[in-house]
A and B are shown apart, each in its own frame.
Chain A
Amino acid sequence: DAKTTQPTSMDCAEGRAANLPCNHSTISGNEYVYWYRQIHSQGPQYIIHGLKNNETNEMASLIITEDRKSSTLILPHATLRDTAVYYCIVTRRGGGNKLTFGTGTQLKVEL
């Protein structure tokens, strides 16, 4: 599975959009980009995934660059409850559904 690089931490004001970047320059054609988050002391939570098109759901939007070497998770109106570690994971189809978590980005949403 391709390796990902994320900033260690980010801050965001409540009500503003939080844009979390992820680099995955070695991604291959059959690999998807997944985002999970882990709120303190809880289990990880699925957010969104995509292959090459931009995706949006009730939680967030995922923007994937045309060359697929990077992506951005957007939380359109961050709230204090969005404070969490956000993990960008690249994994291929199949592979036993194995998730390989990196160090993620600690997002802190402040008043």
Chain B
Amino acid sequence: DTAVSQTPKYLVTQMGNDKSIKCEQNLGHDTMYWYKQDSKKFLKIMFSYNNKELIINETVPNRFSPKSPDKAHLNLHINSLELGDSAVYFCASSQGPPSLAGGPYNEQFFGPGTRLTVL
């Protein structure tokens, strides 16, 4: 069974459209993330949710809206798509809440990625 799954794997769409990418994890983790990897292969965190609550929002345009219906799902909705949104988007999850003190954080498990192409 896939631990972290994303759909769709590929998404090709026109500028100005609205699209969603879905992510599900069956690991029982409390924390989920979205990362963006651009054409130069730089991988950057976008959002993090813990128990359906937003804990990291890394200066992402408000056209991007994550939605967590439950702690096993973190979907990414993108409004008014732009050419610069073309990238590979990775979902990830980790166990437990972010530790505020003491001990390392928990390792993150990544999904296979969704390649978004905006024409």
Contact = CB atoms under 8 A, between A and B. Distances in A.
B101 interface: yes
Interface in A1-50: 32, 34, 38, 41-46, 49
Contact of B104 (A38, A44, A45, A51): A51
A91 B99 CA distance: 12
Interface stretch (B63-71, B76-84, B110-118): B110-118
Interface in B81-119: 90, 92, 94, 98-113
Contact of B98 (A32, A49, A94, A101): A94
Given A97-B98, A99-B108, A43 B44 contact: no
Contacts, number: 72
A93 B104 contact: yes
B56 interface: yes
A103 B44 CA distance: 11
A98 interface: yes
Given A44-B43, A85-B41, A96 B98 contact: yes
B56 A96 contact: yes
A100 B43 CA distance: 8
B48 interface: yes
B48 A49 contact: no
Interface of B: 4, 31, 33, 35, 41-45, 48, 55-56, 58, 90, 92, 94, 98-113
Interface of A: 32, 34, 38, 41-46, 49, 51, 85, 87, 91, 93-101, 103
